[in-house]
Structures are given as C-alpha cells and as structure tokens.
C-alpha cells in the first residue's frame, strides 16, 4: 500500500446563486435558495418549469470570443472553474514537468445544451430526418465528444499528463475526483486538476425528466421547490454548474507551503446492478461504498462529523439514502448531521458531486454545517438529523459525501483534515 496521500489545495465553484466559491458559501451558510422559474427558454409546455440557473457571462470571466463560440456552456464552466482553482492554489506551473499534471473532468450529459440547439438548426426544427450539414456549427465535433471538456481544461492550465472525462451519470463529480486521487497515489502524476461540470438546462433534458416524473412540478413556488427529506418532496430541481479542485500529494503541498483544505482520505464506488433509474429501498450498495471508503481512510464510522447527502428530493432517493446511512454507520447515523445542498442549488447531474465536495471542504474550513433548506414536514421514513433551514456551527474534521446516479452508480468519499482539530 502506497504512502502517498492526496490533498486539495485549490478550489473554485460555479453554482446557482453566484459565480465563485465565496458567493457559493454565502448562499449555503445563509440557507438561501437559488431555484427559480426557468428563464433560458419558454417552460410552458413542460410538466416541471423550475430550475437552478446561473447568471453567467463568460466574458466577465476572461473567456475570449472564439473560446465562447467553440465551447458548450458546460465546457466554459469547467475552464473558468479550473483557472480559478489554479489561482486559488497559488501553484506555479513554470518549472514543473507538464507530464506530471493531469486532468479529469466529470460530466453526466456533456454538451447537451449545445447539441439540443444544434440539432434544432440542422434538422430545421425537426423537419429534416437527413439533417443538413451545411448548417452545422464548425465546432460541433466538440459537442459530439464531451472529452473536449478535458481538452479545454488541459489547454487552459497547460497540463500534459493523463487527461480524461469521467462520465458515470450523477456520481461523475465524485468519481472524477476519486479517479484523479488514485492517479496521484499510484505515482503516475503529482498534480491533478479535477472536478466536474454540467449545463443540462435545455428542452431535451426537461422533457426526458418530465417523462419519468423525476423533476418537481412545483412551479407555483420555485424558490421552495427543492425539498430533500421533506414529507412533501415530489422530485428534484434541475441545476447547472461546476467545481474544480487542485489535487496534490501531501508532502509536496507542505513543502511549497500550500494551504491545505482537506485530504481525500477514502473513496469507493459500487453499482446496484438493479435498474437504470430505480433504487431498492435498502441502500445496500451505497452502504457498501461508504464502508469501503471509510476503510480506505482507516477511519471508523464514528469519526464522521457531517454527512453531505445526495438528497435529490425524489421520494425514492431520500429513503434509499437514509437507509444506506443507517446500514453503514449504525447508531452513529442518528447522531450525525446530514444535509442536502440540492435544496439550495438544485441538482446539476454530473457537476453536483464536485460541488458537494466543495461544500464539504468549506464546511471543514469554516466549521459550519450547511443546512437543508425548505425542510418543514417530517417524513417518517427520513428520521435522521437533516439540519433543517439553518446552518449549524460545529467542529467539522471529517466529512462523508455521497452520490447516487442513473445507471445504478453509488459513490462515497471521505474528506478529512490531515491533522485532527479535535481528539
């Protein structure tokens, strides 16, 4: 077993409610919500008409006109977040071996927004089955293959080591960071630019979630539409965003005097091998992922100070997840604060896993547990401490963050202070 330990030394978040980690943390710590009626297109034909949109101007964040033309919105998010994370880390790449820096970007649905718009044009509003190549955008290939997200980030930071997009549905954001940490541990690289991005708020995405009633129809009260663990919950609110981290080996981070946010102490993913969208209520596979992640971190379940839940706000997810926490942590599950930031920033599919890692890391940084907003009505099947409405001050040394996604993927990551604050 290798002794190389992996830490987060830089981060940046683009989430609904305001671009930047500072705005993100203000929203969470104040328990405000960023869900609203959809403005990107006319939502009238849809069953679900709310989303958590970002007010994002790529030019304000340094992208050039050609970059904006070339990149889908999700790629733009990834590049802005990557640059921000590198700046936050204070790392100087000059003089470093570029082959020793790699990139992993998670994304569940890639350039969906760009593909939807382009299809509408080349098919002339769906009229042409043999779509017309003469009307295609010159960079449509970059939308076809979301690996272009990794390309753009590698170019933006000058990385020449291994680069890839990790795409495991709604656990992509955890799995991308877990994959990156493994590359540092095995010694293939010293630094990883790792995170995830998705910008799925487009008609095709709304339509497909409408079809399976996964998203909430609560469009009369958009600010309170996302209700994880609440007895009145009836589906998730689609979101968008990105979070990217600089990951480094612990000793080299210490040598350069870097600020260390947290150690990626343990990570595991398991599959339920059950259904592409359905979950069995017992949460057995997520519980197994949690147990293995804690084992890798060499921490007992009792060490977990805070659980950053997947908490999507669908009936089945919140029940499934609650069962998984009890199954893996036993009585400690009842003593541990659990919260879902999706109540405030919505569910940005492949991006949310990294955004939730950022929330976990900031909870450790500020010793504050973010709340679950909009939680008023108890559900007998969700009987843990979900930190309703208001953030809570408490020492946070160790966080468990989890994700669950279409395809059956269940992932868990344990983040810890490399040095304990409490005994």
Interactions with another protein, residue window 177-216 (CB under 8 A): 179, 182, 185-188, 203-204, 206-212, 214
Residue 267, token pair as written in the block: 């990570």
Q: How far apart are CA 259 and CA 256, in angstroms?
A: 9
CB of 305 within 8 A of CB of 397? yes
A 10 A CB-CB count for 186 gives: 10
SS3 71: coil
Per the listing, tokens 């919105």 go with: 73
DSSP state of 60: G
By CB under 8 A, residue 328 contacts another protein: no
The interface mask with another protein, positions 161-180, x = CB under 8 A, is xxxxxxxxx--x--x---x-
* H-assigned helices in 172-310: 172-186, 203-211, 250-255, 284-297
Binding another protein (rule: CB under 8 A), the pick from 23, 147, 252, 316 is 147
Is 310 assigned a catalytic role? Answer: yes
Looking at residue 99, what DSSP letter applies? G
Of 139, 143, 320, 347, catalytic: 347
Question: Which member of 70, 73, 83, 139 binds another protein (CB under 8 A)?
Answer: 139
Decide if residue 41 touches another protein (CB under 8 A): no
170 catalytic residue (yes or no): yes
Q: Which stretch binds another protein (CB under 8 A): 160-168, 310-318, 358-366, 374-382?
A: 160-168
Cβ proximity to another protein: between 112 and 336 the closer is: 112
> For another protein, which is the closer residue by CB, 140 or 223?
140
Q: Which is nearer to another protein, 87 or 212 (CB)?
A: 212
Q: Is 361 in the site for another protein (CB under 8 A)?
A: no
Contact 404, 350 (CB under 8 A): no
Q: Which of 139, 143, 310, 320 is catalytic?
A: 310
Retrieve residue 93's tokens. Answer: 């790449």
Q: If binding means CB under 8 A, how many residues of this protein chain bind another protein?
A: 91
Cβ neighbours for 155, distance < 8 A, ≥ 6 positions apart: none
**Nearer to another protein by C-beta: 51 or 159?**
159
User: Should residue 282 be labelled a site residue for another protein when binding is judged by CB under 8 A?
Assistant: no
Given 54, 193, 409, 412, the residue binding another protein (CB under 8 A): 409
Q: Residue 264 in contact with residue 7, Cβ under 8 Å?
A: yes
Closest C-alpha among 401, 50, 418 to residue 224: 50
Supply the DSSP symbol for 401.
E
Looking at residues 92 to 111 of the shown chain, list those that interact with another protein (rule: CB under 8 A). Answer: 98-99, 102-103, 107-110
The catalytic site residues sit at 170, 310, 347
């Amino acid at each position: 077993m290798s002794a190389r330990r992996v830490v987060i030394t830089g981060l940046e978040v683009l989430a609904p409610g305001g671009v930047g980690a500072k705005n993100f943390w203000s929203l969470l710590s104040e328990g405000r919500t960023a869900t609203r009626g959809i403005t990107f297109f006319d939502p009238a034909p849809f069953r679900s008409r709310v989303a958590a949109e970002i007010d994002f101007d790529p030019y304000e964040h340094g992208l050039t006109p050609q970059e904006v033309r070339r990149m889908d919105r999700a790629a733009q998010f990834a590049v802005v977040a990557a640059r921000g994370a590198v700046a936050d880390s204070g790392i100087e790449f000059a003089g470093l071996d570029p082959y020793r820096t790699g990139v992993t970007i998670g994304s569940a649905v890639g350039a969906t927004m760009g593909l939807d718009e382009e299809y509408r044009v080349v098919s002339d509003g769906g009229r042409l089955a043999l779509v017309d190549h003469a009307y295609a955008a010159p960079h449509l290939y970059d939308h076809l293959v979301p690996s272009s997200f990794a390309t753009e980030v590698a170019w933006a930071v000058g990385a020449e080591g291994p680069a890839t997009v990790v795409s495991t549905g709604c656990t992509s954001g955890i799995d991308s960071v877990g994959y990156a940490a493994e590359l540092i541990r095995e010694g293939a690289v010293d630094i990883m630019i790792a995170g995830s991005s998705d910008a799925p708020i487009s008609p095709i995405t709304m339509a497909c979630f409408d079809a399976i009633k996964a998203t909430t129809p609560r469009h009369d009260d958009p600010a309170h539409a996302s209700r994880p663990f609440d007895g009145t919950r009836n589906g998730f609110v689609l979101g968008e965003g990105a979070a990217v981290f600089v990951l480094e080996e612990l000793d080299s981070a210490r040598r350069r005097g870097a600020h260390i946010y947290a150690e990626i102490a343990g990570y595991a993913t398991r599959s339920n091998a059950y259904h592409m969208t359905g979950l069995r209520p017992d949460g057995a596979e997520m519980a197994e992922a949690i147990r293995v992640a804690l084992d890798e971190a060499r921490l007992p379940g009792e060490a977990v100070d805070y659980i950053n839940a997947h908490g999507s706000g669908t009936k089945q997810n919140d029940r499934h997840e609650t069962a998984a926490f009890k199954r893996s942590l036993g009585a400690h599950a009842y003593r541990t604060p659990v919260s879902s930031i999706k109540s405030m920033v919505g569910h940005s599919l492949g991006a949310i896993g990294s955004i939730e890692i950022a929330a976990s890391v900031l909870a450790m940084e500020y010793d504050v547990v973010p709340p679950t907003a909009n939680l008023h009505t108890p559900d007998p099947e969700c009987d843990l401490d979900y930190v309703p409405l208001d953030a809570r001050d408490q020492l946070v040394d160790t966080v468990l963050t989890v994700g669950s996604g279409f395809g059956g993927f269940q992932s868990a990551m344990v983040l810890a202070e490399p040095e304990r604050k409490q005994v």
